[in-house]
Every structure is written in structure tokens, then in C-alpha cells.
Chain A
Amino acid sequence: MSENPNNWPLWEVFIQSKRGLDHKHVGSLHAPDARLAIENARDVYTRRQEGNSIWVVPANAISASQPDDAEMFFDPADDKTYRHPTFYSIPEGAKYI
């Protein structure tokens, strides 16, 4: 967070659009504290009934993978086709499997 007390911290906003669904990242905003971040998020991101629940997380609390690491990180899954059900041959006639 900034040294300047007038610089409000950044919050990442997650909205659950409907009961039962995941909270999805929708964007961010600045606010002095969590309570105001939630109120502002309500005003900014849910004006058209987009929301049922809001989470705000201090942006500096989020750690992310590096775009440059993407290959090293995600490529190992490429040759593991056996993690998918279509990899297996099922004898003809077998149902519900």
C-alpha cells in the first residue's frame, strides 16, 4: 500500500451474480477500507442487478503466476490426454459409462 495516506488502497472485486454460482472477478476500485470498498463495488458493479454477493480483496494480497512462466507452468498438461474420459475405449454396447 502507498505511503501517502490520501492514496486509497486498491481492491479487487468479486461478484456472485446468483446464489449458488462462483464469485467471479469483475474489476477493481480504490477505497479507504473494506466496508467502503464493498459499498462502492455495489455502486460500480451491480447497478443492473448483477449481484447477489460481493467479495473485496486488497489487490496487494493477490499473488499471481507470471505470464512468462506460462509455458513451463501449463505445458506439462498437454501430453496427458489420459486425464480425459475420451482417451479410453469402451466396448460397444456398454451404457452409462
Chain B
Amino acid sequence: MNIQPPVKVFKRKAKPRTLADQNKNMENQELEERFQEKVDAELKIEPKDWMPEKYRKTLVRQISQHAHSEVVGMLPEGNWIGRAPSLKRKAILLAKVQDEAGHGLYLYSAAETLGTTREKTVEDLLSGKAKYSSIFNYPTLTWADIGAVGWLVDGAAIMNQVMLCRTSYGPYARAMVRICKEESFHQRQGYEIMSVLSKGTPEQLEMAQDALNRWWWPSLMMFGPSDAESPNSAASMKWKIKRQSNDELRQIFIDRTVQQAEVIGLTIPDPDLKWNEEAKKYAWGTIDWTEFNNVVAGNGPCNKERLVARNKAHDEGAWVREAAMAYAAKKAKQKAA
């Protein structure tokens, strides 16, 4: 990895004109060096610590995108709560979706420690300005998709989230520890659904395979662009926001998931997939990044539907928020009287 020392970054900026400017820049440079020393020494950065503006901005973007993903992620699964095949599966799916709502909340709160407001963050999601994980712009067509989402989508998210338990920003890391603990049943319930279906009727097996076929590649895209194409990666690694590269995490995910697929008799939809004995890892095909970019740009199968659903839920919840405020005001008035 080629990381520029902070000094160089400074030299590229316009020359300071006044002595005051110059002092300010020296001060910033010193602060930035001290900040980096802390990060290098594996000390967590806390909300009241000085931090480079770009570090703060990167975190606000990443944490709020992460929060939005948890929230929008409820929609594809929510689609099947009313049609779950048994009361048991329904209770499980409800519990999972409920967890995701909680994860959104933990993350919105972590973002707020960086000086953002909840209103603004939510507004950015509702207006379509903010991004969330592209995976949630794919539809859940059959019950097997609920299995595939838990196994693959939560599985991929967990890889990333386990890494983020060690991220350099304290409130983010602590939120992640809590989230990871709760995630642990999400992937297993998904895998169990797939396992049960693949031992079922030929139709059920076919349904499981079809879900895997549709979710496999989008799940691999969840890790983000290849390291070489990922412009923010170097800075995030230097600041230890990220601790492992996109490609590294993706490879571990593939190696683990292929084995799990074999156990339940499903086939990974990649003709180039081949075990490399020397490297002790799988060689695999190529991701269609055109599709990825297309979905990110808003043209995925469900982008519009998701935003409409979020806005509808927000609008239809307005009276609840208003009623709660009115009740609180009334109580406060009674207390004062």
C-alpha cells in the first residue's frame, strides 16, 4: 500500500499567506501527527478528541450509510413476514427484522457523536441523497430468498462488521460489538432455511438453488470495489477505520461459503470457481461491476420501490411522532401547574 505521509498532503495545499495562517497550518499538522500516533498505537478516538476533518467526514458518511443499510434492509425481508411458511419461521423473521431496526438506531446514534443531527441524516436517506448498501435493491422473490439473504447477505455483512469491531472510532467500534453479538443468529437462521429446503422436495431444492444463483454475485459485490479501484480505501486503512481490504474480506467469505454450500448440496453459480491447493484458497470468476455501478446509480430492480416505501413509512408515522410530542408537552404542563 502506498500511503502518503500527512506532511506531503499539506504541501499540496495552497501556500499559507499570513503568519496567522501559517501558525494555524503548523498547529493542524502537529495535531494530525499526534492523531495518527494515537491511531497507530491502537488507541481509540473518542468524540471529544481532535480529529482531521476528513476523518470525521469519512466516518459520518460510512456510519450513516451503514445505518441506512440496516433500515432499508428490513424491507426485502419484511416482504415475507406475512407469508412465512410457519409460525416458527414468522417469529424468527420478525425477531431478525426487529434486530435490524435496532442496528440502525445504534448506528444513527454513533453518527450523532460526530456532530450530525438525526433529522438531517434521515432526511438525506428519504430524499435519495444518501446511499445504502446496493444489495437491498434486489427483490426477494421466494421464501428461499429469506434463507439466501440470512446466509449470504448477513454473512457478508458480518465479515465486514467483525472487522469494524476494531475500527479506530470508539463509538462506532462499540456499536459494532453489540451488533455482531446480535447478528450471530441471523446468518444461522438463513443457512438453516437453505439446509431444510435443500433436503426437501425437488421443487424446494430447486427454489433454494435459484435463490443462491440470484444472490451470490450481488453478495460478493457487497464488499465493494476491488482494492485497486477503491479510492477511499488507503486513507481508511491508514486511519484504521478499515482493517482489512475489500478483496481480502471477499476472498475469506468465498472460501467459507463454498464449503457451506457443499455441505447442503447447493452449487455456487460460478463456472470459474476452482480450489487452488497451493494458495489454499478458491480462484473464482469476475464480478460484473457494470451491474454494480448501475444499481448504485439508482437503476437496480428495487431502488425506487425502497425509497417510496421508506418515505411512505416516514409520512404515515408522522401522526405518531406528533402525538408523542403533544402528550409530552401536556404532561410537562400538568407537572408545572
Contacts and interface: CB of A to CB of B under 8 A. Distances in A.
B143 interface: no
Task: Determine the interface band of chain B, counting residues with CB < 8 A from chain A.
Answer: 20 to 34
Interface string B74-98: 0000000000000010011001000
Given A19-B46, A53-B46, A88-B192, A82 B185 contact: yes
B263 A94 contact: yes
Interface residues on A, range: 20 to 34
18 contacts: A19-B43, A20-B43, A20-B44, A20-B170, A20-B173, A80-B95, A82-B88, A83-B182, A84-B185, A88-B185, A88-B191, A91-B264, A94-B191, A94-B260, A94-B263, A95-B259, A96-B259, A97-B256
Interface of B: 43-44, 46, 48, 88, 91-92, 95, 99, 155, 170, 173-174, 182, 184-185, 187-189, 191-192, 195, 256, 259-260, 263-264
Contacts of B259: 94-96
Contacts of B189: 82, 88
Contacts of B187: 97
Given A53-B46, A87-B185, A96 B192 contact: no
Nearest to A20: B44
A83 B96 CA distance: 8
Interface of A: 16, 19-20, 22, 53, 80, 82-85, 87-97
Contact of A91 (B91, B182, B263): B263
